Amino acid sequence: MKIALISANLGGIDGSTKPNYIPQQLPKDWEVKVFYHDSTNTVVRTGSLHPRIQAKMYRMLGWEMYPGFDYYIWLDAGFDLVSDKAIYAFVKHCEEHDIAMFKHSMRQSIQSEALAVINLLKAKDQYIIERYTNEPMIEQVHHYLEIEKYKDTFLVETGAFCYRPTEKIKAMLKDWYYECCRWTCQDQLSLPVVVIRHNVDITFFPTSIHKTGLIQHTWHQRR
């Protein structure tokens, strides 16, 4: 079985050093290939794309850029692999589903997420200012709430997930990228909408993304 682990840090927004991936214990017939993109190996298209939107190509279109894998794992550049069983656990949790993700650890709706980000912008939080200034989040949420079949009942932390490249998932991921370009780069707002739109079989990890024992967010220490 072939697994792609993909991450991207373009423009240095996730710090200046690479994440640490400890060696993995895997079945003999499993093969993992790491694709890590930063300004040392990837041309940052500053004339046409913001680095965050370019990086989302690898997050959402990795299956297209690197075809031929059975599973794809996305990991934000701010995360390290801290368990030698991390890859195995991600794949096994996704095994009978289209995609495995983490529910948000603090909020349960896109309305509450947009409001939280806007409040942090008002409070002049530099981390949020660098990412979400001038993004039309309120307009985006209002647009989604007008969709007849959409119910604002869940929120996902998109920093790490695993998926199988089914036709349904590929269509969903393309749509997700479109929504980020059409509306805002706050991809947590658009993810629930495209999951419902494409009738994706999503499963959730049983713990918070910050309490898995498999990955650890170390961006603040590495910046």
Instruction: Kindly provide the b/e burial profile for residues 75-89, where b requires at least 16 CB atoms within 10 angstroms of the residue's own CB.
Output: bbbbbbbebeebbbb
CATH topology of domain 2-104+155-222: Spore Coat Polysaccharide Biosynthesis Protein SpsA; Chain A (3.90.550)
Q: Is the pTM higher than 0.85?
A: yes
The domain spans of the chain are 2-104+155-222
What pLDDT, on a 0 to 100 scale, did the predictor assign at position 76?
Answer: 95
pLDDT bucket at 46, cuts 50 / 70 / 90: confident
pLDDT bucket at 12, cuts 50 / 70 / 90: confident
Q: Does residue 99 carry a pLDDT above 70?
A: yes
Q: Does residue 85 carry a pLDDT above 70?
A: yes
Pairing of strands 99-103, 202-204: parallel
What pLDDT, on a 0 to 100 scale, did the predictor assign at position 31?
Answer: 98
What pLDDT, on a 0 to 100 scale, did the predictor assign at position 18?
Answer: 82
Instruction: Lowest mean pLDDT of 20-34, 53-67, 118-132, 191-205, name the range.
Output: 118-132
Q: What angle do CA 1, 5, 135 make, to 5 degrees?
A: 140
What pLDDT, on a 0 to 100 scale, did the predictor assign at position 166?
Answer: 97
pLDDT bucket at 221, cuts 50 / 70 / 90: very low
Structure tokens at 114: 């947009």
What is the mean predicted confidence (pLDDT) over 163-182?
98
